[in-house]
Structure 1
């Protein structure tokens, strides 16, 4: 029997308007009543998903959790207690940021464990962040010297052209010798996490800490930063709008997109 669902947010659980459908909220409540934990497993910071947790009924609850920063932090919702955290080496984060700012057309996000900072924002990104209720502070800098004594969970860079993101990915890999975990997400970001940190490892780590076995975990996702969790848990599930690689890795491909009650479709396929 499955005891935990770890779910990506954007383009997986959340509709295009950034909200969870009413039917899926009801289904998540039903799952909780049946003893199944529902854990957001997201690239976002845990502070930015508090409204979502309130919607699905797990905000401030002991024994309920969030995995943030693509696995960079595991947090218990009661008091936002950080159980596990992994920081990107400052020198790596700083060099990535410098490289991106030199490009001129990349929007940068710097995630500390409690705040989001954005540089060189563009109008599509402003709209995207506002749509998803992400709070952030603008910075105007060419380096991260102001963050030297602050742990950085990850840095990500936004551009709507995949070719631009891919070129920066290759440039960063060539310039920085330190191993990193690099993924794409939301058809707009290339993300840089500490080496050995991903959503899959975090899901298994949380499972170990709360007594849920690997085979008792379901993971739902749509993009390349979700692949690790789909491949490592008991059942990987893809929404219909997932990229081809995610669909190939999934044990179950839902017949619905993120806009059509994916958690309810998952419940009907697996739990009913």
Structure 2
């Protein structure tokens, strides 16, 4: 039985019957499980071990590259499923189960738009994410520092429209809030693709239909896990489809207002270790 060594705040929870039927848990990383100081509470790992030990499928679902997810989830990384690049790539161990690629025309149009914004003086940049590495055209230390938090393996190239492998996500970064100029510029392209805000300073372009929610639905259906027996935790717009795909959706208290409104439950914030406290309570039901 897990010991509650941290004082648990008041919790918004499903019924005990629902909690006892839990068979899958999906976790967003940044802003949800991961605290503002980029750490995970050490007390979370016994909770994760308990979930896995009971046969509950634990899924890390993030906009990050798989390598960055595995750095955070290292204590249990060999026993979880990973949905990287906002669900564009599904992994079991080092095996790619499915990859949703972006067509070259979309890559060319997005790269052209981002280059135009940079030429106008905006401090902005583009990351072309492949399943196991990322490519960038900017090589300055400031930009690369932002990129490497999400993409540990980064290669600087001359032209993002001429790469040696398929792209699964185009991630745009801007030094100012992404809604000011980048999102309107991407929307003006009228792409046959999904555009989603994943952070205050990041927006992602993905294949139409690709999302954390679509990937999670395919996973749980392949495992025969009912929607009602699944829980997910998130904080930002790229988590919305994932929360809508489960029966027990939790937004952390620091989530965007629209995400809190869409969730069935609100967990304490990431800095209050809300995911850990809620999961501990669900396991105790």
Q: TM-score, normalised by structure 2?
A: 0.84
Contact residue 158 and residue 165 of structure 1 kept, 8 A: no
Matched, 1:41 2:61: yes
Instruction: Report the equivalent of 1:106.
Output: 124
Instruction: Report the equivalent of 1:8.
Output: 28
Say which SS state the counterpart of residue 205 (structure 2) adopts: strand
Q: TM-score, normalised by structure 1?
A: 0.88
Contact residue 108 and residue 121 of structure 1 kept, 8 A: no
Contact residue 65 and residue 152 of structure 2 kept, 8 A: no
Contact residue 135 and residue 157 of structure 2 kept, 8 A: no
Instruction: Report the equivalent of 1:94.
Output: 108
Say which SS state the counterpart of residue 96 (structure 1) adopts: helix
Matched, 1:71 2:87: yes
RMSD over equivalenced CA pairs, Å: 2.0
Matched, 1:32 2:47: no
Q: Per-residue deviation at 1:262? A: 2.3
Structure 1 residue runs of 5 or longer lacking an equivalent are none
Structure label with greater radius of gyration: 2
- The structure richer in helix per residue is 1
Contact residue 128 and residue 167 of structure 2 kept, 8 A: yes
Contact residue 160 and residue 187 of structure 1 kept, 8 A: no
Instruction: Report the equivalent of 1:186.
Output: 199
Please give the alpha-carbon distance, in whole angstroms, between the structure 2 residues aligned to 1:90 and 1:219: 32
Cα displacement string for residues 194-235 of structure 1 (whole angstroms, at most 9, x for unaligned residues): 001111111110101122121111110000000111112111
Instruction: Report the equivalent of 1:205.
Output: 218
Matched, 1:196 2:189: no
Q: Per-residue deviation at 1:58? A: 3.1
Cα displacement string for residues 221-251 of structure 1 (whole angstroms, at most 9, x for unaligned residues): 0000001111121111011110101100111
Say which SS state the counterpart of residue 145 (structure 1) adopts: coil
Instruction: Report the equivalent of 2:153.
Output: 136
Q: Per-residue deviation at 1:127? A: 4.1
Say which SS state the counterpart of residue 73 (structure 2) adopts: helix
Please give the alpha-carbon distance, in whole angstroms, between the structure 2 residues aligned to 1:156 and 1:134: 11
Contact residue 113 and residue 153 of structure 1 kept, 8 A: yes
